[in-house]
Structures are given as C-alpha cells and as structure tokens.
Amino acid sequence: MNAPLRGPGNNFVGQSVERLEDMRLLRGQGLFTDDVSRPGLVHAAILRSTVAHGWLRGVDSAAALALPGVVAVITAATMGAKVPAIPMRLAPLDELEPYWQPVIAADKVRYVGEPIAVVLAESAAIAEDALELLVAEIEALPPVVDTATALADGTLLFEAQGTNLAVLYTAQKGEAQAEFPGAYVRREKMDTQRHTATTMETRGLLAEWDATTEVLRIHGASKVPFASRGMLAKQMGLPETSIEMIEVDVGGGFGMRGEFYPEDFLVPFAAKHCGRPVKWIEDRREHLLACNHAREFDCDLELVCSREGDILALRGTVNGNMGAYMRANVAVAPRNVGQFLSGPYAVPNVHVEVRALLTNKTPTGTYRGPGRFEADFFRERLLDLAADDLGIDRVAFRRRNLVKMAEMPYPLATVTPPKKEEKLDSGDYVMTMDLALAELDWDAKLPLQGKLIDGRYHGLGVACFIEGGAAGPRERARVELVEDGTVAVYVGSTLVGQGLETVMTQIAADAMECSMDTIRFFHGSTTYVSEGFGSFHSRSTVMGGSAILLAIEELRQRMREAAAARLGCKAEAVRLEEGRAVAPGGGALSWAELATAGLSGDGVFHNHTHTYAYGAHACHVAVDPRSGHVEVVDYVAVEDVGRMINPLALQGQIVGAVVQGLGGVFLEHLVYDAEGQLLTGSFADYLLPTATDYRSIRAVAMGVHTGAVGPLGAKGAGEGGIIPVGGCIANAVAAAFSGKVQPMSLPLSPSRLWAMIEAAG
C-alpha cells in the first residue's frame, strides 16, 4: 500500500504551493449553483411555518395558484399517502427512526422554519409573492425551547414516544463514580450557546428530470453527494444510477453544507413533478432559520483530582438541545461531547451521560469541530478552576496531566450506543503547549496578568486540544492517462473551500513524478467514480489522497507494461520520466503515445482507524470593564498534523478556524424567545467577525509525529483551529480579573460580559 510519493526532482508535497483554485475564483470565473441555468427553468420558494409547535390542519393554495406565473404548489398531499423522512447518516440507531424529519410537514409543525409548501413559478419574485397568498391553518401547541422543559416531558414533540429524550449517550472508562477519599472535587455548571456556520454562499439546488433517459440531474450537491444520492433514490423510488449529483463551486461548508435537508428532496421532487428544471436559492434569513444549528449544550460536571494535581476522574451530565428532529448527522455532536471531554489529558476514570433532547427549535447538525468545541470549553475552564483551587500553576497542571508519548496509544472513554472505542494515536502534547507559550512570550507577559493598564485589565489564557480525522470506511480514486499526455485524477472527496484541488494535485504530481501542470483534477460528482464518501471529519487528504496514491501505483505499472510491449523490454526495466517512458536501450514513448492503449488505474483506500492531530492555543486579551469589550491582543495556535502536504494552505485553515471560533465566543448567538421564535434572523442581529476585528492571529503548523493511517502519514487538519478557542479566551478573561470574574457561559458578548463584571463587583 506504500505507493511512491515523490520521484527524482519532485518535492511538491510539503511545499507551500499557492492554491490552484484561487485565481479562477478571484477572477469571477467560478461556477456556483446560482450560475447554472437551464431552458424552461422555474423557481422554487418555500412556505415555512411561523409557529414553533402545532397541528397543521391544512394549506389553502387557491389564491397562489391563481397568480399569473405560478406553475404549481406542492404540499404533503401532493406526495400521496406517505411523506418521506430524512434518515440519519452517521451513528444511526433504530430507536431514533420515529424522530426523523418528514421532508415536508404533513400533520404537525415542530419548529419555526419547517417547510409546509413549495411554490413553483416563472421567476423567483413571483414565487415569493405567491408565498404571501398561501394560507396555512395551524393549531398552536405549547412550545418546548430549552433542555429543562424538554426533560420535564410536560409537552411532547412526538406524543407516541412519550418522551423528549431521543437518546442517552454514555461515555465510560474505569470507575469514575467511585469514592476517592481525600481527593479534591470541583463541580461546575456551564453552557455554550446555539450558533451556526454562516457561509459566504447560501445553499442552493438546481434539479432537472430527463424523462427520455429517466435521469434526475442535480447541481449543488456537496460534502457527501453519494450518500445524498442514496437517500434521495430511496425516497423517490429510483435506482441510484438514475440520479446524478453534479458538484459545482461552493462558498464555504464548515459541516453544515451538503447534509440532507428537506430541500434536497423537495427540489428534485418538484422537477420531476412539473417536468421542468427547478432552481431554489436560499436567502440569508432562510439560512439562519433553517440550516443546521449547532453548539447548544449545558453541563453539570465534576473534576476529581489528587491534592498533588493528578486528575483522577471526570464525571457528570451534559444536555444537548438537538432541536425538533434527529436528522442526517445530528448524533455527532452529543457523542463527541461525551467521548472527547477528556481531550488530550490522561484521565483514568470517566463517566459522562449526554442527553440528546428534542425542542421546538431548528434541528442541529455538525459545525466545524462538532462537540469538541463545546467539550473543550467545559474541560479547559474546569482545569483552570481546579489549578487555582489547588494552588498549582495552570501550565504546570496541564503539563502534569497531558498524555505522554510513552502512553500512546491512549484509550479514551467508550461511548454507547452504539459502542464506539477510540484511542489517541501518537504525538508529543507537551511540546505543542510549550511552543504555543513560547510563541506568545508567556513568561514575559505574566506580570501583566490581572493588571489595569490604560483602563483595561490584561489576562493570558491557554487551552489544549485533539482533532479527530480520517473517517472511513473508504475512499475511491480513478486515474487515466489522457491522449494529450496529461493525467486525469478522479476522486470521491468533495471541494468545500478547503483547497482540495491544490493538495490533491501536489500528491498526484509527486506520485506520478511529473509537473503539477500535467495533473487534471476532478472531484465529487457521482459521474466520476463508482462511489465516494465526501468531505467531513477532516478526512479528505488522508482518505482521498491515499486512494490517489493507490490508483497511480496501478496506472504506473500498466504504463510500464504497455511501454515494454512496444519497446521490447521487461516492464520493470522501463523508466517513467516527465512525459516519457524510456527503455534501457534508449528507446522511448511519450505519455501521449501510451495513452492510445486506454490506460487507467483504480484505488480504494480502506480505513477504520481515526487519526488525531493535536495542539495548543495561547492568547493575551485586554478587557474594558466599563463596556465588556475584549480585545484579542495576541493569539497563537499550534498544531501538529503529521505530515504537512501544503503548509501555506494549512496555516490559512488554522487562522480561518480561529476567527470562526472567536466569532462564536464573542458575537454569534441564535436567540429564541419563549414562543420558539428566532429573534436573530438577520445580520442586523446575528453578528459575524470581520477581517479587521482580530489582527494578531498566528498559526504554527508542524509535521512532527506522522500518522499511521495510510501511506501519506498525514492527519486531519481542518478543525483544530476552532476547537480550543472558547476555553482559551474564557480562561484569559478570568485571568484578567484575577479569578473574580469566571465565565461559565458563552458567548462573551460585551453586554453579557459587562453584566458578569458588574455582578462580581
């Protein structure tokens, strides 16, 4: 399985190559979903519930259908006796099927924003106007908006189930519930707020049904197009071969894009129903209202330590506000909170119960570092509190408890259901923390801690993390020698803005021992390879890159064999150079000449073991007690990702992720009122970080301890920059006030932090 990575003179892997896709995008030459058009196109607009919880008695569409330009109105009744539901893709359980979301509300609505009807019209404007003419009759029920109300089961979202507790996950290791005589115990309640991935480009789809060939073609699929094709095929009663998912450019993913949403059924269904191409482009309010939300967890946790500072146990409960349904990848975050709560620390005993609770809010899903961002905030706050109580320097406390290299592979808690065991694979966790502190100049800045300088209090924070990657079960690649002498590379990984084209081209060029210009890269669409598993869980480089190496190994062998047959020598004697196959006697064939033989190679890389990148963040903040404003004076992020493919792209990933994390710490908050109405449905209320908000963010990317998964030696690296930000900043804010202000809740928006400061006197 160890295909050659680079040949004589080739050294693209490990180099800071500028992204190949950037010039096309910067020049406006990208192709996004809204750029795609078709003759006879109609536009879709979706009527969404304005009531959080209630019985849907009917939808009157007569006035809308009478509006000139309206082609059709689709409701649950249009679909016949049974409305399809959205299955769970990751960690599905049979007992969760009753909580799946119907693609359109049939008898009950469970959140504001749930689809009730679809209008098809000759223009987007007419479709929007027609929505105003639809009348939905909803008999309101009491809403459930928080985990405490959900736990009480006074009002049920699914009456037949008798509970709002969809599933209870348990993370177990050792005997955390045992007595620890003489030990120190710190118990705290903390919470993280609901927010979401806010991409530059909103979601969109264009679907067309070819009645002649009976093929449904969909533009706009991303992240996991093959999985989405499988779900849609079952829902529509079509063979998977009758559906083509065509990948186009994407303005950001971050976990939320590309999972199966109601629109992923409704738009293709509408195209087949009316016999014309249908386009739907989400507006920003829809995005904030209907896209997967994330991060809303509260906890009651205990950290048990010896008086000398050794962590003995971590135990407690966590509640996850999952929203109205269990759909697609909703299980990832609550499972991760439990399993990764101990993070990079040696914790011998763990018992954490995580309740996945249903409420009348938008359903949740993954957002960059799902569950890990929340778990890191809880754990890193507990560590600082414990160190302060024990009178131990917080850096020394961490250094004492970080998993040591000699302890690898180190087992984490096992999560059930279903049973899932995990082990940290390799690394020097102390090294990355020490480097982060050195880069921040921690020791020199320590005298500033808690000092009031020019009206602001200064504080330092540190937090450590792990990042899982390389999710299986496999990835597939196909390579072909093209008639012009170039090499076409096809892979099931998808492009969601992470620089996939550049990184994969570097890998392929080294393996082929050719220039990067010789590689032509194709990705994502279901027409390119027979199967693919997409881009999630920081898997694309490890899985897709490894599959490319295997495919190229096969292609090169076939090239040697084809050249040997023509040149009259043994295959192993043929030397493949840039653009030529050379025999020992000096005879040669160009790659273009070899291409006439129709040469190709296939590679499937199988994997059931995760990689674990790791690192530490350190920061320096200055807090204005009069306003609650926090300036991030300096921020350093260090991560060891195994083998680095492109350090420049990696640093960009890390810095971007840190900024996303800071947005979640200080600004972003999806606020609901007691009636389940979203109060932050536009950028006037839902604030995002800008390019000038955080001017000093530094990323230090390393490739010290390579991963054992696959021939590349790389580990996943798309999420590490965001995971520890909440804990790092909150620890710095607490330090700024010498522990008198202890943030236990996010976000640390100016008004909320000001209130904490005032309450602390």
Tens-place pLDDT, residues 178-215:
999 999 999 999 999 999 999 999 999 999 999 999 99
Q: What is the mean pLDDT of residues 747-755?
A: 97
The pTM score is 0.96
Where residue 9 falls among pLDDT bands split at 50, 70, 90? low
Q: By percentage, how much of the chain surpasses pLDDT 70? A: 99
Asked if 115 contacts 264 with a C-beta cutoff of 8 angstroms, the reply is no
| Ramachandran angles phi, psi of 750, nearest 5° | -55, -45
| DSSP reduced 3-state for 265 | helix
pLDDT score at 660: 97
CA distance linking residue 483 with residue 297, whole number of Å: 56
Asked if 637 contacts 617 with a C-beta cutoff of 8 angstroms, the reply is yes
pLDDT score at 4: 36
Asked if 421 contacts 414 with a C-beta cutoff of 8 angstroms, the reply is yes
Give the pairing type, strands 70-74 and 278-281.
Answer: unpaired
Q: Is the Cα torsion angle 491, 495, 501, 504 positive or negative in sign?
A: negative
* Domain 22-30+471-606 coded CATH 1.20.120.80: no
CATH topology of 22-30+471-606 equal to that of 142-196+293-418?
yes
Tens-place pLDDT, residues 589-631:
999 999 999 999 999 999 889 999 999 999 999 999 999 999 9
Tens-place pLDDT, residues 697-716:
999 999 999 888 889 989 98
Mean pLDDT, rounded, of the chain: 95
Looking up tokens 């050195």 gives 438
Q: What is the mean pLDDT of residues 319-344?
A: 97
pLDDT score at 37: 97
CA distance linking residue 345 with residue 402, whole number of Å: 4
| Residue 444: CA count within 13 A, CB half-sphere | 4
Cβ neighbours of residue 539 closer than 8 Å, sequence gap 6 or more: 469, 470, 471, 475, 493, 533, 716
What are 518's two structure tokens? 């010789």
Q: Residue 72 belongs to what H/E stretch?
A: strand 70-74
Q: Which of 664, 670, 666, 686 is nearest to 733 (CA)?
A: 666
More confident residue, 222 or 79: 79
pLDDT score at 535: 86
Cβ neighbours of residue 396 closer than 8 Å, sequence gap 6 or more: 309, 387
Looking up tokens 């000449």 gives 593
CA distance linking residue 109 with residue 117, whole number of Å: 12
Cβ neighbours of residue 450 closer than 8 Å, sequence gap 6 or more: 457, 458, 459, 735, 736, 737, 738
Tens-place pLDDT, residues 447-501:
999 999 999 999 999 999 999 998 889 999 999 999 999 999 999 888 888 889 9
pLDDT score of 355 more than 70: yes
What are 385's two structure tokens? 């509190």
* Domain 33-141+197-290 coded CATH 3.90.1170.50: yes
pLDDT score of 1 more than 50: no
CATH class of 142-196+293-418: alpha beta
pLDDT score at 2: 36
Tens-place pLDDT, residues 528-557:
998 988 888 888 899 999 999 999 999 999
pLDDT score at 7: 45
pLDDT score of 258 more than 80: no
Q: Which strand ranges, in their side-by-side order, compose the sheet holding 452-453?
A: 452-453, 456-469, 611-623, 630-640, 697-702
Asked if 311 contacts 328 with a C-beta cutoff of 8 angstroms, the reply is no
pLDDT score of 5 more than 50: no
Asked if 456 contacts 206 with a C-beta cutoff of 8 angstroms, the reply is no
pLDDT score at 639: 97
Q: Which of 676, 666, 668, 645 is nearest to 749 (CA)?
A: 666
Looking up tokens 């079509």 gives 238
List C-alpha distances in Å: 630 to 377, 445, 500, 623, 755: 18, 17, 35, 5, 14
In the chain, DSSP finds a helix count (H) and a strand count (E) of: 18, 32
Domain layout of the chain by residue ranges: 22-30+471-606, 33-141+197-290, 142-196+293-418
Q: By percentage, how much of the chain surpasses pLDDT 90? A: 90
CA distance linking residue 667 with residue 685, whole number of Å: 10
